[in-house]
Amino acid sequence: MAGFCDDRSAGSRREKALWPIGLEHAAKASHKRPMTPSRNSASPLTETLSSSQRKALAARAMRRCWTITGTMIAASGLLLAAACAPSRPAPAPAPAPAPTPAPAPAPAVTPQHSIADWADLPATPGTWTYRADGNVTRALFGTTQSGAQFTMACEKASRQIRLWRAGSPASVAETGMTIATTSTTRTVPGAIQSGQIPQLVASLSPNDSLIDAIVFSRGHFAVGVTGMPLLVMPSWGEVARVAQDCR
């Protein structure tokens, strides 16, 4: 590369740079010298430059040549580095969002009816069943699926009629059981009996007039406890039979 620059770049640039000077001196010399030069005569360009000037021009041409060469080498290196550099992997796709679970259905709300409106309400699904177990006879009202929701029992040994309502009241302070018939409505005190199925129990004498009001109620009678569904039940013969067992 250095030889190439010495032969081509330095020589051509030196001639171009000194061409006007050579022409000027050549024109002046033409007036003093004959038109036909001798074989041993020197070139006008050579005569105008000293040895130090020629060295300076050669050094300047070498510096320019090496600058151009270095720039080309650096550019080639950058191109090679860019070609050899590993490409960045594509970013991983974002994970799909988790599906939003469907909201749980709201629990069914059992409507709470007032016992004052019992006569206008439909009868509670269920039937009466009579059962005798030794000294205790029972009339049980309910369905096969739900079991007995209300029980009227005669305990012959104590001569007591007990009314059993399955479930727990709203609070221990509200344990009254309200009985509504076509002739009368009364609330009797009750007590909570714990067990696998809690029960609210009220006790009556066999000769209590409320027993007769239940037996002779026209069509239906109702039992209400605070915080529990109202029961509207038919006045069937099983109720009258339990009442007669204790008299």
pLDDT along the chain (247 residues), means of 10: 45 45 45 45 55 77 75 68 64 78 65 84 95 94 88 94 91 88 96 89 95 95 94 96 94
202's tokens: 């009220």
79's tokens: 């191109």
The H or E element spanning position 210 is helix 209-215
Identify the DSSP state of 126: -
Tokens 């709201």: give the residue. Answer: 106
The H or E element spanning position 187 is strand 185-188
pTM as predicted: 0.56
Beta-bridge partners for 129: 140
pLDDT of res. 17: 46
